[in-house]
């Protein structure tokens, strides 16, 4: 009952991951592939964090 209003950190990371992927897609469409690669790398690190939290 006391954990009812706690925010789920996994959901927060999933929203951040989705936001990063959208930003990366718009950067890719603008033609800046170096920035796109950096943003995808950041998104992948967030995805790894999500996987670790779900498994552990």
1-56 pLDDT, tens digit per residue, is 566 778 889 999 999 999 999 999 999 999 999 999 999 999 999 999 999 999 98
41-54 pLDDT, tens digit per residue, is 999 999 999 999 99
pTM: 0.83
H helices of the chain, in order, are: 9-30, 33-55
If 0-12 CB within 10 Å is exposed, 13-18 middle and 19+ buried, where does residue 28 land? middle
């Amino acid at each position: 009952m006391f954990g009812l209003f706690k925010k789920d950190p996994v959901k927060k990371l999933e929203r951040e991951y989705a936001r990063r992927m959208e930003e990366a897609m718009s950067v890719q469409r603008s033609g800046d592939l170096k920035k796109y690669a950096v943003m995808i790398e950041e998104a992948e690190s967030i995805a790894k964090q999500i996987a670790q939290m779900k498994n552990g």
